[in-house]
Amino acid sequence: MTGRGIRIEGLKKRYGSGDTAVDALKGVTMQVAPGEVVGLVGPSGSGKSTLLKCLGAVIEPTAGRMTLGNEVIYDDGWKIRDLRALRRDKIGFVFQAPYLIPFLDVTDNVALLPMLAGEPNSEARQRALELLTALDVQHRAKAMPSQLSGGEQQRVAIARGLVNRPPVILADEPTAPLDSVRALAVIRILGDMAKRYQTAIIVVTHDEKIIPTFKRIYHIRDGVTHEEAGEGRGFD
Amino acid sequence: MISLAGRDILHAWGKFVFTGIGLGLLIGVTLVMAGVYRGMIDDAMVLLDNSGADLWVVQKDTQGPYAESSSLYDDTWRGIAAMPGVASANNITYLTMQVRAANHGEPRDVRAMVVGIAPDGPGSAGWPPYLVAGRQITRSHYEAVADIASGFKLGDTLQIRRNRYTVVGLTRRMVSSNGDPMVFIPLKDAQQAQFLKDNEAILQQRRRTAENPAFNRPGVPGLLDAVIASQSTNNYVNAVLVRIKPGYTADEVAAPIRRWKRLTVFTRAQMQDILVNKLIATASKQIGMFMVILAIVSAAIVAFIIYTLTMDKIREIAVLKLIGTRNRTIAAMIMQQALALGLIGFAVGKITATFAAPLFPKFVLLMPGDSIAGFFAVMVICALASVVAIRMALKVDPAEAIGG
Amino acid sequence: MNFSALNRRTLLLLAVLIPLLLLLGYVALRTGPLAAVPVTVTTVESHAINPALFGIGTVQARYTTLVGPTVAGRVKSLDVHVGDRVRAGQVLGEMDPVDLDERIRSQRAALLSTQAQLRQAQTQRDFARTQATRYAQLLAAHGTTEELLATRQQELQSAEAALQAAQDAVERARADLAALQAQRSNLKLVAPTAGLVTARDADPGSTVVAGAPVVELIAPDSLWIDTRFDQLTATGLAAGLPARIVLRSRSNQTLAGRVLRVDPVADAVTEETLAKIVFTPLPQPLPPIGELADITVALPALPARPTVPNASLQRVDGQLGVWRVEGDKLQFARVKVLGRDLDGRVQVEGLKTGERVVVYSQRTLSARSHISIVDHIPGVSP
């Protein structure tokens, strides 16, 4: 791995303590290579969200190791001081709902993070426009989020997740509200983006429509994962 | 760099401007309240300034002609004028009463302070120091100078007690400490108005005197007429206004006058103290309390509005935090919105106050110092009010953006 | 929607905010203490003025006669009423004689009695004289003693004295009678001069003391107006000046008059100078006594000198003066008042014609005030 891709070893997460403790994750191991899109599948309560939150450096795991590229970000304790910067620079998020900022136009929604980080506005917007073009929504560049359709909003959200070229993208049920055509379209886009920008993408889902598209799937049950080869049927 | 607060305001500008106007009206009321208080003090100051006096000589142990009634003989001024350091001493009478305008068909009753001025000519103590129309009084009877707040115009005929007066001049801001407009008439007429009664009362008095055997003795034919004549004269005034020669201080001129019996002398500082502290004290306390309440209400409204605006965006704030936005960026956005609201509110408030002030029946004085203080107060209140919303926003767990 | 949605929004917001800011700026600068003070100015011109004095007077009669009895008594009849004109010598009424008639009769009787006593004294004296002569003759004829003669001579002397006394008594009785009769005629109330009856102070039947007036008369041609002028404004009042008189009850009529005299004794209590103004000519009908009148005495006109309206006069730091306008700056100029008229014009020393002075201002002025010159003060309709 050359600074991209993600590896997790023996990740544990316990909520609470004593008698009321709940072990959401009991030792998760997984890895995703750059350019790869893997699925993370499991029923509710299986620890999907918890795993995602750990991966996203939003909550602190109890034990284990997480490596991003060749940087160990967690080894029984955070090895990174500024988690927020980690999230900003190294991890991209795609949510169930687009969660676009309603008072910024599409371009600014995508370019927001770089601009807040101090990058000149014109450069940031230029990068945003490139991503929007790659996602085929450039014709909506000046519109406000409320004027876009659901699918367009989701694409903009994906562009936002990609704007900082993070090595990892975590997608949480990105196709849940969508119909099969659009759902497949989203997964196709994610696959394109992954290839183009060499991003490792983990898609948490239980959407039956898209599970067959993954080449590799991690099943998670009762806080433990095991790998499976997916059908990898692609996006037809 | 991008201004999140600016974009948000731009996006929801209607809500902002509307709220700003509402807040502005509240701030405007607060500024007007402060103006009412300043106006009351200014009324008192203007009263003292316009009288042109350095010392007020009044009946002993009374609180002066404005706060309390005082009666002096009208020849007292002669003794005072001869004292060292006295440049001039003028009689003056004050009487607050209803003045009727007796022309143009519809009679109007106006509550006014009728001031009797000694016939020394323009520039004397007690005379209006400047006019806005017409001329000063030249005749010793039956002419008047009125303040425009009374609504009288040049040429109007006023009825004060038994006599009629023609308005020959108009003044502005000549008011009593209560805000009643002043009407200046010659001293002798004012003395008559103050101490003589109307015709009915005079007839009754004559009848009673004639029935009194002590005054109506047949062996002394002129006695009854002499008694009636003495009852019809009046030789009292309310105060003597003293101007001091240059080179003397107020206290060194006042002290010898005080040593006379039955006279109390107030310097300018003491009159100010009486008018402001004693006359206005209760009203100013009320206004102070009202302003505090308004400030609290304003703060509450700003806090509520900002809180609501923030809560509407709480999902987006969670997402922002998750994807890596700094806490202080989010806090700055909320604070800037609150300050922008305060700015709009203050502008609307100041403009409203300025245009509403002349409509009030009493004088409202809006001072720039008050406006500046008000501006900073509004900014501080808005900043503090936004703290609630900021705390709420910062407490949001970014993990909530990840469903489940 | 289009690309310029953002720009339109911005434009709209600016369209609201910029006027707001402009308004705020206007409010800050144009109103309140930072604003300029509106003033009206006038140019000093050289005018002659006609100063005048103003006073209030009461119509009075110059000569008032009080007709009444010289002794206490009761009024028997009055033949005149208020408003009647009477001639000199006209009987106005009569007092009740009470017991005067009886006293006259008694005095007449007393006079007769003294006259009788006089005759008796005369008889006695004649007899005494005859006796004295006879006894003197007898003594010459040695028919009687000297002592008897002396006695008869002494009787003659006492008879002479008694006669003198009786004559004096008659005189006295006659004088007393004349006095009573004079009094009786005094009971008639007679007008000493021609005049107008202005009061009946006692009606028939009332008792009055000696000296109390029963009828008051005035000489109608002697009406004058007792006028009071404030001492401070009575400079120049002198006899002979023309006066304009406006009676209270005839306020649309101006009558002509003249100052008859300025009283040598002023009223020290009310600080007024008293003067008497006469009508020239007397108005008909006559104004009632006691009616008030407004008097304007015209003083000799003053020559043309720099004149300003009296509204310009102000007192600053104890000095009387006016605010002179130089460019857009104010300068206080001390002046001395040389003359004033009743219409508000004042002649001053200390200004030159052509200079501009402030007449009206919206606020108190000071040397540092910013002024803006206007035609009339805003908010005041002339």
pLDDT for residue C289: 85
State which H helix or E strand residue B187 sits in.
helix B187-195
CA distance A185 to chain B (A): 22
ipTM value, please give it: 0.81
DSSP of B141-173:
SSEEEEEGGGT--TT-EEEETTEEEEEEEEESS
Contact B196, B162 (CB under 8 A): yes
pLDDT for residue B404: 47
Q: What is the number of CB-based contacts under 8 A between chain B and chain C?
A: 143
Packed helices B314-323 and B327-356: angle between N→C axes, nearest 10 degrees: 140
Report the sign of the C-alpha dihedral through residues C263, C266, C270, C271, in that order. Answer: positive
B114 half-sphere exposure, CB direction, 13 A CA radius: 29
pLDDT for residue C3: 45
Is residue C12 within 8 angstroms of chain B, CB to CB?
A: yes
User: Which of A151-182 are b and which e, b meaning 16 or more Cβ less than 10 Å from the residue's Cβ?
Assistant: bbbbbbbbbbbbbbebbbbbbbbbbeebeeeb
**A-contacting residues in B 123-152 (Cβ below 8 Å):** none
Q: What is the pLDDT of residues B343-399, one digit of tens each?
A: 888 989 988 998 898 888 888 888 888 888 888 888 888 888 888 889 988 888 887
Average the pLDDT over C330-352 and give the result. Answer: 89
- Selection from B155, B111, B154 nearest residue B133 by Cα: B154
| Weakly modelled stretches of chain B, pLDDT under 50 | 404
Average the pLDDT over A10-34 and give the result. Answer: 86
Residues of C in contact with A143 (CB under 8 A): 1, 5
- Report CB contact under 8 Å: B148, C209: no
Determine the residue type at C221: D
Q: How far apart are CA A231 and CA A174, in angstroms?
A: 20
C-alpha torsion C187→C193→C194→C200, nearest 10: -40
- Report CB contact under 8 Å: C1, A143: yes
Q: Is the pLDDT of residue C4 over 80?
A: no
DSSP of C69-94:
-SS-EEEEEE---TT-EE-TT-EEEE
Is residue C1 within 8 angstroms of chain A, CB to CB?
A: yes
Residues of C in contact with B147 (CB under 8 A): none
Nearest chain A residue (CA) to B326:
A84
pLDDT for residue C182: 85
- Average pLDDT score, chain C: 86
Q: What is the pLDDT of residues C296-327, one digit of tens each?
A: 999 988 899 999 999 999 988 888 999 999 88
- Report CB contact under 8 Å: C32, B367: yes
Is residue A143 within 8 angstroms of chain C, CB to CB?
A: yes
Nearest chain C residue (CA) to A146:
C1
* Band of pLDDT at residue A78, cut at 50, 70 and 90: confident
- Report CB contact under 8 Å: C315, B123: yes
- Report CB contact under 8 Å: B2, A85: no
The pTM of the full predicted model, rounded to 2 decimals, is: 0.70
CA distance C262 to chain B (A): 18
Is residue A58 within 8 angstroms of chain B, CB to CB?
A: yes
Nearest to B133 among C21, C313, C380 (CB): C380
Q: How far apart are CA B30 and CA C186, in angstroms?
A: 90
Is residue C34 within 8 angstroms of chain B, CB to CB?
A: yes
CA distance C19 to chain A (A): 25
* Band of pLDDT at residue A35, cut at 50, 70 and 90: confident
CA distance B341 to chain A (A): 17
Return the residue matching tokens 């300029």: C36
Contact B84, B255 (CB under 8 A): no
Distance of alpha carbon C263 from the chain centroid: 10
Q: Could you give phi then psi for residue C230, rounded to 5 degrees?
A: -60, 130
- Report CB contact under 8 Å: C1, A105: no
Return the residue matching tokens 């009529």: C253
Q: How far apart are CA A21 and CA A3, in angstroms?
A: 36
Nearest to B322 among A48, A87, A103 (CB): A87
pLDDT for residue B220: 75
Residues of B in contact with C57 (CB under 8 A): none
Q: What is the pLDDT of residues C73-109, one digit of tens each?
A: 888 889 899 988 899 888 888 888 777 888 889 999 9
* Band of pLDDT at residue C249, cut at 50, 70 and 90: confident
DSSP of C186-239:
HTEEE-SS-EEEEEE-S-TT-EE-TT--SEEEE-GGGEEEEEEEEGGG-TT--T
Q: How far apart are CA B104 and CA B151, in angstroms?
A: 13
Rounded alpha-carbon distances, angstroms, from residue B57 to A151, B21, B54, B240, B400: 90, 52, 10, 5, 79
Nearest to C21 among B221, B235, B347 (CB): B347
* Band of pLDDT at residue A1, cut at 50, 70 and 90: very low
* Band of pLDDT at residue A233, cut at 50, 70 and 90: low
Is residue C24 within 8 angstroms of chain B, CB to CB?
A: yes
DSSP of chain A:
--S--EEEEEEEEEES-GGG-EEEEEEEEEEE-TT-EEEEE--TTSSHHHHHHHHTTSS--SEEEEEETTEEEEESSB--S-HHHHHHHHEEEE-SS----TTS-HHHHHHHHHHHHT--HHHHHHHHHHHHHHTT-GGGTTS-GGGS-HHHHHHHHHHHHHTT--SEEEEESTTTTS-HHHHHHHHHHHHHHHHHHT-EEEEEE--TTTGGG-SEEEEEETTEEEEEE----TT-
Is residue C18 within 8 angstroms of chain B, CB to CB?
A: no
- Report CB contact under 8 Å: C230, B121: no
CA distance C342 to chain B (A): 5
Q: What is the pLDDT of residues C57-67, one digit of tens each?
A: 999 988 888 98
Is residue A144 within 8 angstroms of chain C, CB to CB?
A: yes
Residues of A in contact with B2 (CB under 8 A): 104, 108, 112, 115-116, 121
* Band of pLDDT at residue A3, cut at 50, 70 and 90: low
pLDDT for residue B240: 92
**B-contacting residues in C 50-69 (Cβ below 8 Å):** 54-56
- Selection from B114, B182, B185 nearest residue B150 by Cα: B182
pLDDT cut 90: percent of chain A above it: 4
Q: How far apart are CA C158 and CA C147, in angstroms?
A: 16
pLDDT for residue C296: 92
Is residue B1 within 8 angstroms of chain A, CB to CB?
A: yes
CA distance C216 to chain B (A): 14
DSSP annotation of C311 = G
Gyration radius from chain B CA atoms: 31
Nearest chain B residue (CA) to A96:
B403
Determine the residue type at B279: L
- Residue to mutate among A116, A158, A170, A207, with most B CBs inside 10 A, is A116
Provide the token pair at B61: 């142990």
Name all chains with 3 or more CB-CB pairs below 8 Å to chain A: B, C
Is residue A89 within 8 angstroms of chain C, CB to CB?
A: no
Q: How far apart are CA A221 and CA A48, in angstroms?
A: 9
Nearest chain C residue (CA) to B120:
C232
State which H helix or E strand residue B114 sits in.
strand B108-117
- Report CB contact under 8 Å: A147, C3: no
More confident of the two residues C227 and A136 = C227
Nearest to C360 among B132, B246, B368 (CB): B132
- Report CB contact under 8 Å: B138, C341: yes
CA distance B140 to chain C (A): 7
- Residue to mutate among A139, A140, A142, with most C CBs inside 10 A, is A142
Is residue A139 within 8 angstroms of chain C, CB to CB?
A: no
Query: What is the SS3 assignment for B404?
Result: coil
* Band of pLDDT at residue C2, cut at 50, 70 and 90: very low
Provide the token pair at B209: 């005197």
Name all chains with 3 or more CB-CB pairs below 8 Å to chain C: A, B
Is residue A105 within 8 angstroms of chain C, CB to CB?
A: yes
* Band of pLDDT at residue C29, cut at 50, 70 and 90: low
- Average pLDDT score, chain A: 84
pLDDT for residue A234: 60
